[in-house]
Amino acid sequence: MSGSAGTDLPSAPLRLAVVQAEATPGDVAHNARRAAGLAAGAAGLGARVVVLPELHLCGYDLPSLAAAPADCEVAADESGTVTDGRLEPLAETAARTGTLILTGAAVRRPDGRLANSVVAVEPSGALSAVYDKQHLWHADEARLFTAGERGAALEADGWRLGLAVCYDMSFPEHARAAALSGAHAYLCLGAFASGNEHRACVYLAARALENTVYSVFANPVGGPAARPTRGGSVVYAPDGTLLAGAGTDEERTIVADLDPRRMAEVRGFLRMLDEQRSRSGRTATAPA
């Protein structure tokens, strides 16, 4: 699955699953095994892409991460490749089912930076850290992580999938950059604290509508007592209407079909993205 850009719509629908699950803080091996089982279940429902929450491999428990980083991190090389025996169940599941699995992880980069990352497990079984969170949540995250410097997208079955992590969704420019690069969907791995799920719904409905793309939010349940999470995972259609929702408080997998025909219908009368693209082109070519 390449990362080439394009503005054409996909030729066929894409079935995507959002896994709203609980992670055990600091236990990468256990979380990877559970994630593999949940991804296999989603693949059994026909999902071609499976999305899990932010920092799912170590759990969103920043004090535990700070206290025992070696137990919580995975390492990536210069190309982003991740080689870690604890993640083998995910690699095996992706290869066996032919799915693309996206999960959150604390990734140690070769230069020593620790990033709040999206790890992609390809249908080939290869693992790589493909995106580092660009907007860190206040001082708690900034003390541990280094912010990413660029956006990223992957392709799955002709669909270009823009990537985001939690607080990224709060910045309209982040999703707009993905859409202008040709993304058909905006996938956000989150860990919104209990009581704040409504913010994600407002943000992502807006991101879908203003960019006429599908938007996806995977949020965990459980978590540490000092910072619990309650789920609220959702998928929005390109007109900002709710396509699927997981509810709160319990583990659940939701499946949604992303349909290019619906995108074409919406873009037939909501033309903001094309108008912005044209405006950007005029700006880029205007004389100084």
Tens of pLDDT, residue by residue over 185-217, are 999 999 999 999 999 999 999 999 999 999 999
pTM here is: 0.94
Delineate the domains of the chain, giving CATH numbers in brackets: 14-283 (3.60.110.10)
Helix (H, G, I), strand (E, B) or coil at 234: strand
Q: What is the per-residue pLDDT for 119?
A: 98
**pLDDT at position 284, please?**
43
Asked if pLDDT for residue 288 goes beyond 90, the answer is no
Residue 7 confidence (pLDDT): 58
Residue 86 burial (CB count, 10 A) = 15
Which residues on neighbouring strands pair with residue 214, listed in sequence order?
185
What are 35's two structure tokens?
A: 């994630």
Return the H-helix or E-strand segment holding 17.
Answer: strand 14-20
How many Å apart are CA 259 and CA 278, to the nearest integer?
25
| Residue whose C-alpha is closest to residue 74's, from 49, 92, 91, 99 | 91
Window from 68-72, 92-96, 163-167, 186-190 with minimum mean pLDDT: 68-72
pLDDT level of residue 135 (50, 70, 90 thresholds): very high
End-to-end CA distance of the chain: 39
Q: Supply the residues annotated as catalytic.
A: 54, 133, 166
CA distance 45 to 251: 16
Q: What is the pLDDT of residue 1?
A: 39
Residue type, 285: T
Neighbours of 45 (CB within 10 A): 12
% residues pLDDT > 90 (the chain): 91
